[in-house]
Amino acid sequence: MDPLAAAAIEARQRARAPFSGFQVGAALEDEEGRIFTGCNVESASYGLTVCAERNAVFRAVAEGARRFRRIAVAADTDVLTPPCGACRQVLWEICGDIEILLVNLKGASESMRLSSLFPRPFDANFLD
């Protein structure tokens, strides 16, 4: 198994999802090969919930990473689960057009570029 996928599956086990029961793990690889993991953490207000992908990105940035290669997202679903819209926006702004690796607990996987999931992103280019 791809080490990045394995890290995402392991991170999923640490998710805090008492309301939805939907546990997600993410593992983000920087250009140096370091892996930063994240899991979803739910709040009763839902609006304060943070997804696994954003947790991984924010952790990587907090630890000094600035350039990224790819991210793996793991969920226990038959249909592979892509990042939500908010995560796509954060991934685009901070990581660029990285590879997205979707995996489930049954061993299924699919890889794509972020641009295929987020074809017309809003970013700093519109602010000039």
Local confidence pLDDT in tens for the 128 residues of the chain: 999 999 999 999 999 999 999 999 999 999 999 999 999 999 999 899 999 999 999 999 999 999 999 999 999 999 999 999 999 999 999 999 999 999 999 999 999 999 999 999 998 889 97
Q: Where are the domains positioned within the chain?
A: 3-127
Q: Which residues are catalytic?
A: 53
Topology, domain 3-127: Cytidine Deaminase; domain 2 (3.40.140)
Place of tokens 């990285």: 98
- Cα–Cα dist 17/60, whole Å: 22
